Chains A and B, each alone.
Chain A
Amino acid sequence: MYNRRKGFVKWAFGGKYNLEAYLFLIHRITGIALALYLPVHIIVTSMRIFGPESWKAIMERVAHSPISAFGEWLLVVAVAIHALNGMRLILTELGMFIGRPSRPAYPYRNSIDRQRVLSWTVMVLSAVFIIWSVVAFSPRFFH
């Protein structure tokens, strides 16, 4: 016997899935990125316990380079996608937009199909938000 359970990186490339499965992958990636960002953020902002000078010094170093502007933009994008998709998940996991159980009749229409309008809403709103953030961040990129 050999094991075909190989973690979800292999899962992601091992088949063709519905739209929400790929939203799940993006949700997981942005979630891990945000979790890694949070301790860094806390360390940087905690510099002010050493007084205003050290705060200013670290802000000089971190906040005014184009690289950190790009990083901040990535953060905004990650937060937007994660938050919007998270709201979709809260609604569906509380039983909204997924319909009621009914006798299956071919061609099957399941709960995923019924809530797909939410998925498209999340994607359109994310796209709008990303375009807006590019416009809002452009003065800092080309500073």
Chain B
Amino acid sequence: MEKVKDVVFRILRYSPEDGKPTWSEYEVPVIKGMTVLQGLFHIKETQDPTLSFRASCRMGVCGSCAMKVNGKHILACQTQILKLHADVLNVEPLSNYNVIKDLVPDLFPMFEKHATVKPYIIRYSDPEEFNDPTGEYLQLPDELEEYLQFSYCIKCGACVSACPVVSGDEDFLGPQALTQAYRYAVDTRDEGYIVDRDVVSDIVSGVFRCHFVGACSDACPKGVDPGMALQLLKKELFLNSFGLKRKKKTAGFHRIDFNAPPPPDAPKPPPKTVEG
């Protein structure tokens, strides 16, 4: 592949020994289809091996490589350099976090907040079902659509970095955690609802600190739309506090006898091959 043009990467470098973040410039020959992450790897391999950044899957699934390029929140692995239409890329780590080194933010506060909203299905009527399953819950496609979009979150931290409320007050749970609270609260299999996840209506950390700036939805690289989840969560809390909410639908349950013989018309399992 031949080079299309040279692009200058201005990277906000920081090393704990030096103590002060500084900009460094690297020139990268860009070929067609090259991503920002490939550019960073090119710098690390050919120019400066001390450059640090997080990356793993290279295909927008693991959520390691979220960063800010020219003021926009992106996943470095799924953003092509030529699509940015710029000769100079200002590459910064995410805002609203502590930075460990170069482009590596400390995402631990986000995961801590994520845990406080109880991001799992809460059951009261059959608590032993999760340890010792006897069947499956039934859910209609419409009920799945209610939360499916919000379950695509890869926890890259871009929405928290874009949020002005988090930048003003770190006690605010942030878009990521509250989106997950909504995702589990409206799940028909869940019995905890917003009542058990009372941290979402808290006056300091809760969802009413959100002013629908929309920077989170704009920043999300997976189309999860945290802004919508937070507004729907507000609506849910509002209707619930005035008793206007219709009773939440609950998922049906289909018991499966795991020890029963298969029905006669069931497809036969493939014959076992004998080793050796």
**Contact yes or no, A12 B164, CB < 8 A:** yes
CA distance A37 to B219 in the complex (A): 35
- Chain A residues closer than 8 Å to B211, beta-carbon distance: 24, 27, 89
**Contact yes or no, B167 A1, CB < 8 A:** no
CA distance A105 to B152 in the complex (A): 12
Q: How far does the Cβ of A7 sit from chain B's closest Cβ, in whole Å?
A: 6
CA distance A100 to B68 in the complex (A): 29
Residue B39 lies at the interface, judged by CB distance under 8 Å to chain A: no
**Contact yes or no, A21 B227, CB < 8 A:** no
Which residues of chain A in 85-106 are interfacial with respect to chain B, using CB atoms and an 8 Å cutoff?
89, 92-95, 98-106
Stretch at the interface among A42-50, A52-60, A66-74, A108-116: A108-116
**Contact yes or no, B223 A8, CB < 8 A:** no
**Contact yes or no, B228 A98, CB < 8 A:** yes
- Chain A residues closer than 8 Å to B95, beta-carbon distance: 4-6, 11, 14-15
The residue that A15 contacts in the complex, of B72, B145, B225, B235, with Cβ under 8 A, is B72
| Highest count of chain B CB atoms <10 Å: which of A12, A15, A95 | A15
**Contact yes or no, B72 A111, CB < 8 A:** no
CA distance A17 to B70 in the complex (A): 11
The residue that A4 contacts in the complex, of B96, B146, B215, with Cβ under 8 A, is B96
**Contact yes or no, A106 B223, CB < 8 A:** yes
Q: Chain A's interface: helix, strand, loop or mixed, by majority?
A: loop
The residue that B148 contacts in the complex, of A11, A93, A103, with Cβ under 8 A, is A103
Residue B217 lies at the interface, judged by CB distance under 8 Å to chain A: yes
- Chain A residues closer than 8 Å to B215, beta-carbon distance: 15, 17-18, 21
| Chain B residue nearest to A107 in the complex (CB) | B223
Q: How far does the Cβ of B265 sit from chain A's closest Cβ, in whole Å?
A: 33
Residue B193 lies at the interface, judged by CB distance under 8 Å to chain A: no
Q: How far does the Cβ of B183 sit from chain A's closest Cβ, in whole Å?
A: 9
Q: How far does the Cβ of A23 sit from chain B's closest Cβ, in whole Å?
A: 8
- Chain B residues closer than 8 Å to A10, beta-carbon distance: 167
Residue A2 lies at the interface, judged by CB distance under 8 Å to chain B: yes
Indicate with 1 or 0, residue by residue over B66-93, a CB within 8 angstroms of chain A CB atoms: 0010111100000000000000000001
| Chain A residue nearest to B150 in the complex (CB) | A101
The answer to whether A111 and B227 touch (CB under 8 A), given A12-B164, A16-B71, is yes
The answer to whether A111 and B73 touch (CB under 8 A), given A17-B215, A21-B215, A89-B211, is no
**Contact yes or no, B152 A104, CB < 8 A:** yes
Q: How far does the Cβ of A38 sit from chain B's closest Cβ, in whole Å?
A: 20
Indicate with 1 or 0, residue by residue over B146-177, a CB within 8 angstroms of chain A CB atoms: 11111010000000001011111010000000
**Contact yes or no, B166 A5, CB < 8 A:** yes
**Contact yes or no, B223 A104, CB < 8 A:** yes
**Contact yes or no, B214 A18, CB < 8 A:** yes
CA distance A37 to B81 in the complex (A): 49
**Contact yes or no, A1 B145, CB < 8 A:** no
Query: Which residues does A use to contact B, with CB under 8 Å?
Result: 1-8, 10-12, 14-18, 20-21, 24, 27, 89, 92-95, 98-106, 108, 110-112
What are 13 contact pairs spanning A and B, CB under 8 A?
Answer: A1-B99, A5-B96, A5-B166, A14-B71, A15-B72, A15-B73, A18-B218, A24-B213, A95-B231, A99-B228, A104-B149, A104-B223, A112-B214
The 3 closest A-B CB pairs, nearest first, are: A104-B223, A108-B223, A111-B228
Query: Besides the contacts A18-B217, A24-B213, what 18 more A-B pairs have beta carbons closer than 8 Å?
Result: A2-B19, A2-B99, A4-B96, A4-B99, A8-B164, A12-B164, A14-B95, A18-B218, A20-B213, A21-B213, A21-B215, A24-B211, A93-B212, A95-B235, A103-B148, A110-B227, A111-B228, A112-B214
